[in-house]
Amino acid sequence: MAQIRIQNVRKEFGPFTAVRSSSFTIEDGEFFMLLGPSGCGKTTTLRMMAGLELPTSGEIFIDGEEVGMKRASQRDIAFVFQMFALYPHMNVRKNISYPLVSQGMKREEVKTRVAEVARILRIEHILDKPVGGLSGGDRQRVALGRAIVRQPKAFFMDEPLGALDAEFREHMAEELRALHDRMGATTVYVTHDQLEAMQMGDKIVVMNHGVVEQFGRPQQIYDWPATKFVAQFIGSPSMNFLDFEGMIGINGDSVDLGGVRIKVPAAREGRAGRLTLGVRPEHVSFRDAAAYRGRVSAVEYLGTTQIVTLATAHGDLKARISSAQAVREDELVGLDFDPRTLSVFDAESGKALLSQANEGVLGHG
Amino acid sequence: MSSYSVTEPSLRQKWCAGVLVVLYALITILPLVWIIATSFKTPSDAIAYPPKTFFTPTVEGYVNVFTTRTRLTEEQLQAVGEPQTWYDRLVRKDGLVISGPSRFAERFTNSVIIGFGSTVLCIVLGTAAAYAFSRFKVPLKDDLLFFILSTRMMPPIAVAIPIFLMFRSLGLSDTHAGMILLYTAVNLSLSVWLLKGFIDEIPIEYEEAALIDGYTRFQAFYKVVLPQAATGIASTAIFCLIFAWNEYAFAVLLTSGNAQTAPPFIPTIIGVSGQDWPAVAAGATLFLVPVMVFTILLRKHLLRGITFGAVRK
């Protein structure tokens, strides 16, 4: 069990920079998510932590010890691969005991440890089967078994559920989270699925183009995205962006959106020029008297809620409202935005402006 | 109405395919049957015209291939006395006595040493090179691979004269080591290319998993990659062995006494009175056996895809 600290880590593959100067800390026992679109550097970051790639520069600390240039086998960590990477020429028992045998552990002890792991994962009945014939879920369990049998300092998982069917993935996600809660081991988990990240993670790092965009608890990231990229990547449908020319002063608590004043959380930094107002779909409500108007262009029914797409003076906007509310296409409606939840971004840099509401989340990170 | 399937061939198509396969098999096996049959004929049966399909089998050819014989006069035969063993009696029918062993066993042993020796060397070097090409960043990798392949772009015998001269000045002519080196050099490009293909197919995650599980890179290679590559290694070994085993031209050119292999030796088997075709056929039949046994032993590896199902693609 260990704290993991990444400091200014950078990785170049020839002329291509996969990771540029990442820094973050994973606390002991955390379930930590590395989230981002494919090619964002999240897997490279994980592989550097595991010792499968060496960083071009920067430091990686596991349990206070600098391991950046150490071999994978000397870091006392376990890795679960997306493709499971079970040794195909060995049966389940041999696969799980393989890392112990390599440490030269006594036969008896290996046996006890494997039996214990098999019990935890409920795979006792398949221990003597070859891995070739196993279902995806069982292979995943065996791969987990091979990881936890070592009792390593940390678990690294590279999209471990990516190869599973959708219905089974949900189940395994719960199982994985429960396993983590029982063992309390530091876990770093790479995924491109924002739902998976929010559902399972204690903390999330969102990466894009090799840069850490934001780092924090799932709700903080969802509510107060640090950049437009994070705002768009997390949440489905993603945050609405209303681009406008305008300004907001320090302590200003409203913006002028095409002549309509929209209340926002009090600003901590001012900016003038091209700005973007960010609104989550669920924070849009319909009120006939509201000054900001939009015309309904499409309605998607989702059971308890519906997603209404509206054409406004500042582009398309999606609202998530109760299905009970009747909406007709082509109808002109008044829109209210919940003033406590809005973010204002600098349209050029994509960064969120500090406000009274998000300074607690963004102020130190 | 017959049920019609897009993917399954019809019964008639299956029959046609079956007949063609059997026909092809018959055509390819005919020379083999001829040689084996000839090896059990008497010399006169072997050259009979029209050829005899039915004949009384004899192992004379096999006795002859392993022995040298002399024709003796009546008095000399009297002096030698009654034949002691079954093979003595067999040659005595024709008024001959066995004067000693032939060099066939020795040539055959040479073939085994050179054939298997070069195969082993080829596989060891080929696997190492293929692994490096597959896994590591090798400068000029593509050019090197092309260069390796280019060694096979002309028939090896085209460079026979330089090789002959080189071998002579290096003292490798007519040595086992020389022949092993030569066959290895010729086969290595095939071995590297075939094995690289097989190793490329093995997901790198297996080694990474082993590295994290506490193995060194060599251990990971030895314990994880090699078992996975068994199929490829087996088929490559068969190709290498068949080439080295059957090679004739270089063997004629570079070997004479000490390291001569069986292929150049077999046609030189001459009977006491004229060409001894059954003995030649017997030599050829025996010569087929090791490659057949080797192939049958490795057949299991050729047919079994051991990585099947272990990685979800």
Q: In this complex, is the C-beta atom of A107 within 8 Å of any C-beta atom belonging to chain B?
A: no
pLDDT above 80 for A219: yes
Give the tens place of pLDDT for each residue, A12-37. 988 899 998 888 999 999 999 999 99
A282: closest CA among A195, A217, A360, A342?
Answer: A342
- Whether B162 contacts chain A with CB within 8 A: no
Dist CA B49 CA B26 (whole Å):
23
Could you tell me if A301 and A182 lie in one domain? no
DSSP class of B157: G
- The answer to the question of residue B214 being in a domain is yes
- Of B68, B102, B136, the one marking the end of a domain is B102
Rounded CA gap, B81 and B42, in Å?
25
Is B213 close to A136, i.e. CB distance below 8 A?
A: no
pLDDT of residue B1: 46
Neighbours of A202 (CB within 10 A): 16
The closest CB to that of B205, out of A78, A83, A132, belongs to A83
Mean pLDDT of chain B: 87
**Same domain as A157, residue A33:** yes
pLDDT in tens, A116-151: 889 888 888 999 999 888 888 888 889 989 998 988
Q: What are phi and psi of A265, to 5 degrees?
A: -60, 145
Mutate which: A48, A49, A83, A140, vs B, most B CBs within 10 A: A83
B195 in the same domain as B163: yes
Residue B26 has pLDDT above 90, yes or no: yes
pLDDT reading at B198 higher than 70: yes
Which of A205, A223, A241 is the last residue in one of the domains? Answer: A223
The confidence score (pLDDT) of residue B257 equals: 82
Phi, psi of A185 (to 5 degrees): -90, 145
**A211 and A68 in a common domain:** yes
Q: What is the DSSP letter of B186?
A: H
CB contact under 8 A, A99 and B216: no
Residue A200 to residue A81: CA distance in whole angstroms: 18
Whether A294 and A348 map to the same domain: the answer is yes
One domain, residues B96 and B110? no
Distance, in Å, from the CA atom of A270 to the CA atom of A254, rounded to the nearest integer, reads 12
Among all chains, which residue has been given the structure tokens 């189940």?
A171
How far is the C-alpha of B244 from the C-alpha of B239, rounded, in Å?
9
Closest CA relative to residue A342, chosen from A217, A259, A231, A204: A231
Contact: B212, A98; criterion CB under 8 Å: no
pLDDT attached to residue A362: 83
Chain B residue with the nearest C-alpha to that of A98: B213
Placement of tokens 């061939």 in the chain: B9
The answer to whether B224 contacts chain A (CB < 8 Å) is yes
CATH number at residue B192: 1.10.3720.10
Domain boundary among A175, A204, A223: A223
A177/A91 same-domain check: yes
C-alpha distances in Å from residue A81, one per residue of A163, A182, B208: 10, 22, 9
Residues A184 and A236 occupy one common structural domain: no
Residues A243 and A322 in one domain: yes
Share of chain B above pLDDT 90, in %: 46
- Mean pLDDT, residues B42-62 taken together: 87
Q: What is the pLDDT of residue A364?
A: 52
**DSSP label of A53:** S
Residue B65 domain boundaries: 56-102
Which candidate, B197, B190, B265, B269, places its Cα nearest to that of B232? B197
Nearest to B216 by CA among A294, A71, A30, A84: A71
Reported as a single tens digit per residue, the pLDDT across A346-356 is: 999 999 999 98
Which residue(s) pair with A31 in the sheet? A187
Q: How confident is the model at residue A168 (pLDDT cuts 50, 70, 90)?
A: confident
How many angstroms separate the CA atoms of A200 and A197, rounded? 6
At residue A1 the predicted structure's pLDDT band, cuts being 50, 70 and 90, is low
Looking at the fold, whether B254 and B130 belong to one and the same domain comes out as: yes
Enclosing domain of residue A75: 4-223
In terms of domains, do A236 and A216 share one?
no
Contact flag B211-A85 (C-beta cutoff 8 Å): no
Q: What are phi and psi of A242, to 5 degrees?
A: -110, 105
B68 and B110 part of one domain = no
Q: Supply the angle between the helices B226-246 and B104-135 in degrees, to the nearest 10.
A: 140
First-to-final CA distance of chain B: 40
Residues found in chain A = 365
Task: Please state the rounded mean pLDDT for residues A95-107.
Answer: 88
DSSP string across A66-90: E-TTS-GGGS-EEEE-TT----TTS
Does the pLDDT at position B4 exceed 80? no
Residue ranges of B 23-82 with Cβ closer than 8 A to chain A: none
Number of domains in chain A: 2
Neighbours of A298 (CB within 10 A): 12
Q: B81 with B134, same domain?
A: no
Long-range contacts of B269-272 (CB under 8 A, 24+ apart): B269/B64, B269/B65, B269/B102, B269/B104, B271/B43, B271/B64, B272/B69, B272/B70, B272/B71, B272/B96
pLDDT surpassing 70 at residue A8:
yes
Pair B170, B63 in one domain: no
Residue A293 confidence (pLDDT): 92
A76 and A129 both lie in a single domain: yes
Residue B5 lies in a domain: no
Closest CA to A103 of A53, A149, A153: A149
Q: Are residues B70 and B149 in the same domain?
A: no
Residue B46: the pLDDT is: 85
C-beta atoms of B212 and A139 within 8 A: no
Domain contains B36? no
- Please check whether residue A294 is in contact with residue A310, taking contact to mean a CB–CB distance below 8 angstroms: yes
Q: Which of B42, B71, B102 is the last residue of a domain?
A: B102
Reported as a single tens digit per residue, the pLDDT across A40-60 is: 999 999 999 999 999 999 999
Q: So what's the pLDDT on residue B310?
A: 38
Q: Tell me the pLDDT band of B2, cut-offs 50, 70 and 90.
A: low
Average of per-residue pLDDT across A262-274: 91
Do A107 and A176 have their domain in common? yes
B-chain CB neighbours of A78 within 8 Å are 212
Q: Are B93 and B113 in the same domain?
A: no
Total residues belonging to chain B: 313
Cα–Cα dist A274/A243, whole Å: 7
Q: Which of A88-97, A131-140, A323-332, B173-182 has the lowest mean pLDDT?
A: A131-140
Asked if A73 contacts B215 with a C-beta cutoff of 8 angstroms, the reply is yes
Q: Are residues A212 and A170 in the same domain?
A: yes
Q: Which of A62, A67, A96, A102 to mutate to test the interface with B (most CBs of B within 10 A)?
A: A102
Interchain contact, A102 vs B213, CB within 8 Å: yes
**Residue A328 DSSP symbol:** -
pLDDT, one tens digit per residue, over B216-239 is 889 889 988 998 888 889 889 988
Q: Computed from CA positions of residues B249, B250, B252, B253, in that sequence, does the dihedral angle turn out positive or negative? A: positive
Asked if A73 lies within 8 A of B212 by C-beta distance, the reply is yes
Q: Which pLDDT score is estimated for B313?
A: 35
Whole-number Å distance between alpha carbons of B235 and B295: 9
| Cα–Cα nearest to A131, from B187, B307, B49 | B307
Cβ contact B211–A72 (<8 Å): yes
Mean per-residue pLDDT, B79-85: 81
Confidence (pLDDT) at B182: 95
Q: What is the DSSP letter of A324?
A: T
What whole-number distance in Å separates Cα of residue B38 and Cα of residue B102? 20
Do B70 and B124 share a domain, yes or no? no
Nearest to B214 among A99, A133, A136 (CB): A99
Mean pLDDT of A4-11: 92
Q: Do B186 and B134 share a structural domain?
A: yes
What average pLDDT does the segment A54-74 reach? 90
Residues B290 and A213: their CA atoms lie apart, in Å, by 66
Q: What is the pTM of this model?
A: 0.77
Whether residue A239 is found in the same domain as residue A218: no
| d(CA B313, nearest CA chain A) in Å | 8
Q: What pLDDT band is residue A334 in, cutting at 50, 70 and 90? A: very high
ipTM tops 0.85: no
Put simply, whether A163 touches B (Cβ < 8 Å) is: yes
Distance CA B213, CA A76 (A): 9
CB-based contact, B312 to chain A, within 8 Å: yes
- Residues B84 and B127 grouped into a single domain: no
- Nearest Cα of chain B lies from the Cα of A159 at a distance, in angstroms, of 13
Mean predicted confidence (pLDDT) in A172-186:
87
CA proximity to B111, closest of B245, B242, B241 = B245
* Cα dihedral value B112, B115, B118, B123, nearest 10: -100
Q: How many domains does chain B have?
A: 2
**Contact (CB<8Å) A87/B310:** yes
A288 has pLDDT over 50:
yes
* Band of residue B306 on the pLDDT scale cut at 50, 70, 90: very low
Could you tell me if residue B30 is inside a domain? no
Spell out a b/e string for A304-337, using b for 16 or more CB atoms within 10 Å of the CB, else e: ebbbbbbbbebeebbbbbeeeeebeeeeebebbb
Question: Could you tell me if residue A200 is left (phi over 0), alpha (psi between -120 and 50 degrees) or otherwise beta?
Answer: alpha
Provide, as residue numbers in chain A, all residues whose Cβ is less than 8 Å from the Cβ of B233. Answer: none
B2 part of a folded domain: no
Instruction: Measure the CA–CA gap between B217 and B213, rounded to whole angstroms.
Output: 11
Q: What is the mean pLDDT of chain A?
A: 90
Domain boundary among A193, A223, A253: A223
Minimal Cα–Cα distance from B126 to chain A, Å? 22
Whichever domain contains A195, its CATH number is 3.40.50.300
* Mutation target vs B (from A12, A62, A75, A81; most B CBs, 10 A cutoff): A81
Say whether residue B308 is in contact with chain A using an 8 A CB cutoff: yes
Cα separation, A119 vs A125, whole angstroms: 10
Determine, for residues B312 and A81 on separate chains, whether the beta-carbon distance falls below 8 Å.
Answer: no
Residues A291-307: tens digit of each pLDDT: 999 999 999 999 999 99
Same-domain status, B95 and B113: no
Mean pLDDT over residues A157-183, rounded? Answer: 85
Pick the last residue of a domain from B65, B83, B102. Answer: B102
CATH number at residue A240: 2.40.50.140
Interface mutation vs chain A, best among B135, B205, B212, B228, most A CBs within 10 Å:
B212
Tokens of B111: 């073939």
